[in-house]
Amino acid sequence: MLPPGSVIGMIGGGQLGRMSAQAAARLGFLVHVFSPEPDGPAAQVAARTIIAAYDDLEALRSFAEAVDVITFEFENLPAASLALLESLKPVRPGAKILAISQDRLLEKQFLNDAGVATAPWAKVESLAELEAAVAELGLPAVLKTTRLGYDGKGQAMLRAPEDLAPAFEKLAPKPLVLEGFVDFAAEISVMVARGVDGTIVCFDAVENRHKHHILDLTIAPAPFGPEILEEAQSIARLIAETLALVGLLGVEMFVTSTGALVVNEIAPRPHNSGHWTMDACPCGQFEMHIRAVAGLPLPPAMRHSDAVMKNLIGPEDMALWPRVLATPGLIPHHYGKTEARPGRKMAHFNRLFPKGALPGEFGIEDALALAEKS
């Protein structure tokens, strides 16, 4: 258990690092950020920032020497960098978990080996292999890069045979993975944390709605019956246990039209779909993350309120900022980014509701008081 005054090393300087650093400060820790970007969201609130590339081993070494434990908000660190960090200080979650979550093929293989359902999938290295995979999985299907894809980038929907060759050409690096199309009723996610002592705590499953492939709204809890919600949590627990996770992990799942759960991907760090916990839980995802990596006890992932989280993305949403501030009941979280480029996550807000009083399907926009955009 790290005492107050200890230093937590954070790889990555974005908003997830910023909000982790804010939670760490409340627990009496200092955060050192390692980021290629000067003045990023995390650097603005961190005790110290090292600005260097993720493959700068010299800089990583002096970063590691100055901290007590290392964690991250950005998981695509080169393997050699991770190996160096692990030789110097505890890295939580560890390199094995990062390797799995960085690579969709390893991730799906790991999940299936653990008995967790995913979309049917096939590895694709050539156009001939893609044709064979489509013959097996059928159309529509989704072709994805195995690495570095996010927010719908690095993937293509295949609807007709003529879509195969252009999609195969366009997507890089190879190999790719073909996934059978999941006819989903909703996308949900669960945040799970596991402590150094093996304690596992799991936040409630939530529904995520996307706009232009980017998360727009999170609805907590997800509007499904207890069976589906509890199954989602047991899948998340099983993944955390099987990985021997120390830290926090997000599990994104599809609820199929028949009510089955299919895991899409895992992210071993705080997650945008966990931002609702900042205000609706006594111990939110960022504090839980810091507690887990610092060896502190993990309190129950209790939810005291229902919540809707709304992302504010790019200049269009940021035009609403004055209104967000003027609307009672909206809890704002700004990431400190100066330039609101299209598609860039700039801020979010949470709106809380008494437990059980989440507005129904058609009331959510009104409840956010953003129905008519100014």
Q: What does the binding site for ligand AMP look like in residue numbers (CB under 6 A)?
A: 119, 142, 149, 152, 155, 179, 181-182, 187, 210, 213, 264-265
Tokens of 373: 């955009």
Strand duo 141-145 + 330-334: pairing:
unpaired
In the complex, what is the shortest distance from the CB of residue 177 to ligand AMP, in angstroms, rounded to a whole number?
A: 10
| Least distance from ligand AMP to the Cβ atom of residue 262, Å | 8
Residue 86 CB, shortest distance to ligand AMP, in Å, is 27
Q: Name the one residue in this structure whose structure tokens are 């799942």.
A: 253
For the bound state, the minimum distance from the C-beta of residue 149 to ligand AMP, rounded and expressed in Å, comes to 5
CB of 264 to ligand AMP, least distance (A): 5
Rounded-to-integer distance, Cα 352 and Cα 361, Å: 16
CB nearer to ligand AMP: give 92 or 144: 144
Give yes or no for a contact between 271 and 101, defined as CB atoms under 8 angstroms apart: no
Residue 213 CB, shortest distance to ligand AMP, in Å, is 6
Of 78 and 149, CB closest to ligand AMP:
149
Structure tokens at 168: 């195969």
Which of 149, 295 has the CB closer to ligand AMP?
149
Nearest CB to ligand AMP, comparing residues 54 and 181: 181
Q: How far apart are CA 207 and CA 218, in angstroms?
A: 6
DSSP string, 174-203: SPEEEEEPP-EEEEEEEEEEE-TT--EEEP
Minimum Å distance from CB 272 to ligand AMP? 11
Q: Which is nearer to ligand AMP, 152 or 223 (CB)?
A: 152
In the bound state with ligand AMP, the residue whose beta carbon lies nearer, of 118 and 277, is 118
Nearer to ligand AMP, 35 or 155 (CB): 155
**Identity of the residue, 210 or 211, whose beta carbon is nearer to ligand AMP in the bound complex:** 210
Contact 171, 145 (CB under 8 A): yes
List the one residue out of 256, 94, 281 whose CA is nearest residue 201: 281
Phi, psi of 72 (to 5 degrees): -155, 160
Nearer to ligand AMP, 171 or 281 (CB): 171
Q: State the nearest-atom distance from the C-beta of 120 to ligand AMP, in Å.
A: 9
Q: How far is the CB of 144 from ligand AMP (least distance, A)?
A: 6
Number of DSSP helices (H) and strands (E) in the chain, helices first: 13, 17
Count other Cβ atoms within 10 Å, centred on residue 308: 24
The total of other beta-carbon atoms located within 10 Å of residue 363's CB is 10
For 131, counting Cβ atoms within 10 Å of its Cβ (0-12 exposed, 13-18 middle, 19+ buried), the class is middle
Helix (H), strand (E), coil (C) string for 65-133: HCCCEEEECCCCCCHHHHHHHHHHCCECCCHHHHHHHHCHHHHHHHHHHCCCCECCEEEECCHHHHHHH
